[in-house]
Chain A
Amino acid sequence: MFKILKYSFYDLMRSSWSYVYFLFYLALGFVLLFLNNDVSKAVITLMNVIVVLTPLIGTIFGVMYYYNSREFTELLLAQPLKRSTIFIGQYLGVALSLSLSLIIGLGIPFLAYGLLQSNAIFNFTSLLLVGAFLTFIFVALAFNIALSHENKIKGFGYAILVWLFLAVIYDGLFLISLVMLQEYPLDKFSLIATMFNPIDLSRILVLLKLDISALLGYTGAVFQKFFGTNAGMLISFFVLLLWVILPALRIIYISKRKDF
């Protein structure tokens, strides 16, 4: 598996897209930090970008990589390798190279700004951690979709739809349900509903880290009570981990049954 990972990673690290992605984060980091001069404001803006952009890029890269390397995958399938080795190797290669672009791209401006001396370092690390998680989650979802659809256009369509659903539509439905059910106590419902969307979960994790949950009113207090504790943090990271592991297991499951 590590061999496949290594070569997928090399291949991607040399593609110009990885550099564009890296340079984008580098520029974003420098602009936000040095024009804003306020680390926590920069972190909030970055969070808003990361929470939407990393899933989108992960989805598109995942689907594109799978379809582009189809013939090469066939070559690998003819080698004495297990199918799970091939696909998990490729998946990790894509997810790792994207995560590295993110972490290094944002890490450099923050280091240059003198982050290590400020107390925002924990907020920043949790931001990067969440970004990496989202990348791993959405690349896995993209691989799942691409593996189940031979037709590239369909695969691309469904992948974008999943992103759109989790990034935009889910929040809309969530809000509508909150308005419609406002007579009932909704704190538990909203907590659970948050868990089912990795993007929402990541956003709330970062927001609560920033100590601005007071702005969120009563619900914010409930969330703070839950996520603010160590147990809450652990549970939410565990849920994020599940969001990575379950799609990854499904990659193995589908790939074992697929004809190439």
Chain B
Amino acid sequence: MIKIKNLHKKFGKVEVLKGLDLSIHSNTSSGGIVAVLGPNGSGKTTLIKSILGMVIPDKGEIKLQDKNILKKHQYRNNINYLPQIANFPSNLSVKELIKMVKDLRPKPTTDNNLIDLFGLLPFLDKKLGNLSGGTKQKVNILLTFMFDSELIILDEPTTGLDPISLLNLKKIILEEKQKGKTILITSHIMSFVEEMADEIVFLLDGKIYFKGTLVEIKQSTNQKDLEHAIAAILTTTNSKFN
């Protein structure tokens, strides 16, 4: 599905990605949820944005379904992306925004189900500038999940959601997985990752430090839960560096 080879990216003097190699295969029958983890500044967002073509890598190649995607734009029709911060033109209404995104991506949508699920019906005619942060995030989620795409990328999806919406979000993610989609998630909330993810990709210092299942990461660090396993990795690498 995704194949990344020798990816390099520098922002000014800071080298964020240093020859990252990653390949993610999804078994088309069951799909898969891959969590991309790592400390702050380890390159998670840069990696995701490179796949989306928002960050232009200095070196390396990225292939989606065996097709090179760098400098192309059409392939994004097959990716749904949930950005970290939701901010929309404040003078458009929710309805108009949905219409606009549909206009930009001529694909069948399931927006009505999602509007019901998140209770967005009373907000449809409201201007986006007048919505609360949590409601904006719901609109953001709606825009992400209303298209049927092979790859779904979620950057910190739980930000600002109330418990019910969080449950709904988990439900949608699992449903999409059932349909055989590949889902890439970054999150700092370990309980969420532990609940959802099938596979963990741990980034450290611009490279993949660990890739494997939840069970494997816990076994290799001799810890009972993910939070401690991650902490164990970080302390051992820190002592190595010191």
Contacts of B53 in A (CB 8 A): 77
**Looking at chain A's contact residues, is the secondary structure mostly helix, strand, loop, or mixed?**
helix
Instruction: Tell me, yes or no, whether B18 is within 8 Å of chain A by CB.
Output: no
Given A3-B104, A71-B86, CB of A80 within 8 Å of CB of B75: yes
Instruction: Tell me, yes or no, whether B195 is within 8 Å of chain A by CB.
Output: no
Instruction: Tell me, yes or no, whether B42 is within 8 Å of chain A by CB.
Output: no
A-B contact count (CB 8 A): 72
Given A71-B83, A82-B73, CB of A77 within 8 Å of CB of B88: no
Are A14 and B91 in contact, with the CB atoms below 8 A?
A: yes
Q: Select one of B54, B81, B100 contacting A7, CB under 8 A.
A: B100
- What is the minimal beta-carbon distance from B108 to any residue of chain A, in angstroms? 15
CB-contacts of A57-105 with B (<8 A): 69-72, 74-83
Chain B residue at minimum C-beta to C-beta distance from A4: B104
Instruction: Tell me, yes or no, whether A260 is within 8 Å of chain B by CB.
Output: yes
Are B89 and A77 in contact, with the CB atoms below 8 A?
A: no
Instruction: Tell me, yes or no, whether A15 is within 8 Å of chain B by CB.
Output: yes
- What is the minimal beta-carbon distance from B146 to any residue of chain A, in angstroms? 13
- What is the minimal beta-carbon distance from B84 to any residue of chain A, in angstroms? 9
Are B89 and A69 in contact, with the CB atoms below 8 A?
A: yes
Are A80 and B100 in contact, with the CB atoms below 8 A?
A: no
Chain B residue at minimum C-beta to C-beta distance from A259: B55
Q: Mark B86-119, 1 if CB is under 8 A from A, else 0.
A: 1111111000100011011100000000000000
- What is the minimal beta-carbon distance from A6 to any residue of chain B, in angstroms? 9
Q: How far is the CA of A80 from the CA of B100 in the complex (A)?
A: 13
Q: How far is the CA of A8 from the CA of B87 in the complex (A)?
A: 14
Q: Which residue, of A75, A79, A83, A259, has the highest number of chain B Cβ atoms within 10 A?
A: A75
Q: How far is the CA of A8 from the CA of B96 in the complex (A)?
A: 12
Q: How far is the CA of A143 from the CA of B77 in the complex (A)?
A: 27
Q: How far is the CA of A77 from the CA of B104 in the complex (A)?
A: 11
Given A81-B104, A260-B54, CB of A7 within 8 Å of CB of B89: yes
Are A11 and B89 in contact, with the CB atoms below 8 A?
A: yes
- What is the minimal beta-carbon distance from B92 to any residue of chain A, in angstroms? 6
Contacts of B81 in A (CB 8 A): 78
Are A3 and B100 in contact, with the CB atoms below 8 A?
A: yes
Q: How far is the CA of A12 from the CA of B89 in the complex (A)?
A: 9
Please, how many residues of chain B have a CB less than 8 angstroms from a CB on the other chain?
Answer: 30
Given A3-B100, A7-B100, A15-B91, CB of A75 within 8 Å of CB of B11: no
Are A72 and B104 in contact, with the CB atoms below 8 A?
A: no
Q: How far is the CA of A146 from the CA of B6 in the complex (A)?
A: 32
Q: How far is the CA of A77 from the CA of B100 in the complex (A)?
A: 14
Contacts of A80 in B (CB 8 A): 73-77, 104-105
Are B92 and A259 in contact, with the CB atoms below 8 A?
A: no
Chain A residue at minimum C-beta to C-beta distance from B97: A7
Are B91 and A12 in contact, with the CB atoms below 8 A?
A: yes
Are B89 and A72 in contact, with the CB atoms below 8 A?
A: yes
Chain A residue at minimum C-beta to C-beta distance from B153: A78
Q: Mark A1-30, 1 if CB is under 8 A from B, else 0.
A: 001000110111011000000000000000
Instruction: Tell me, yes or no, whether B52 is within 8 Å of chain A by CB.
Output: yes
Given A259-B49, A259-B54, CB of A7 within 8 Å of CB of B76: no
Given A78-B79, A78-B81, CB of A72 within 8 Å of CB of B88: yes
6 contacts between A and B (CB under 8 A): A7-B100, A14-B91, A15-B90, A74-B54, A76-B104, A80-B104
